[in-house]
Amino acid sequence: MSKRVTFQHSRRPSMSRVRGAVVAAGLGTSMVLGAGAAFAAAPASAPGTATLISTTAADSVAEQAAAQGKAAAAAKQAERSSAKEAAAKAASWVTPVRQYTLSACFGTDGSRWAHKHSGQDFAVPIGTTVKAAHSGTVVKAGPNGGGDGPAYGNAIVIKHGNGTYSQYAHLSRIDVRIGQTVSTGEKIALSGNTGNSSGPHLHFEIRHTANYGSAINPVSFLHQQGVAV
């Protein structure tokens, strides 16, 4: 009696089984890798495969955009702060010299002037830096009081935006010219003893016009601007 031998032929796995295995593997890997990676279905040209799509590049672009936004905001803030500082500086007043002793005051009598004293004298050594008390435009500069008379010696007059004028007299050197714009605290001259002067000092006036005869008390005016004299 002959035995029937049965051969079991191997069968090729179906395409659906392959795809199922790939999807299962993809899901398992995605769970291990976390949100940083994802799997998508393979393109039609390559059925049964999975493509790993990384979001690292997208995250990097987002981070760069956020950093650039922060930098732009910081730059705008710095620009606003700088503008505020510039505006505050332009609005401020300062004393025309840094270290001084007050000598002849406004309105006092004296033998060195025909009428009452028209300004405030700041006693300082010759060669002391003289600064613009406020920003403005130079309208007088030169000997003979810049046009106000020889008693002032070398002098400067600056016109300010608020309708006032400041005058600086008895200078040893003038460092500005007529028509020049100056900033608050900018060096404009060196103090001296020129003109009708009994000793080294700076004669400082605040006026309503550029000319002699329109002066007001400069110390009271500076006090109103918040400047201690």
- Output the CA–CA distances (angstroms, integers) from residue 57 to 33, 41, 64, in the order listed: 16, 20, 11
Residues 45 and 120 in one domain: no
Residue 31, domain member (yes or no): yes
| Segment 65-70 long-range contacts (CB within 8 Å, at least 24 positions apart) | none
Residues 107 and 194 in one domain: yes
Residue 80, domain member (yes or no): no
Domain that holds residue 37: 12-54
CATH number at residue 207: 2.70.70.10
Q: Is the pTM of this model over 0.75?
A: no
Residue 27, domain member (yes or no): yes
Residues 143 and 209 in one domain: yes
Q: What distance separates the 2 farthest-apart alpha carbons in the chain?
A: 159
How would you write the pLDDT of the chain (229 residues) with one tens digit per residue? 444 444 444 445 454 553 444 334 444 444 334 444 443 444 455 555 444 455 677 778 888 888 888 888 888 887 776 666 555 555 699 999 999 999 989 988 765 555 688 999 999 999 999 999 999 999 999 999 999 999 999 999 999 998 899 999 999 999 999 999 999 999 999 999 999 998 999 999 999 999 998 999 999 999 999 999 9
Residues 111 and 37 in one domain: no
Alpha-carbon span 101 to 170, nearest angstrom = 16
Q: State the SS3 of 56-104.
A: HHHHHHHHHHHHHHHHHHHHHHHHHHHHHHHHHHHHCCCCCCCCCEECC
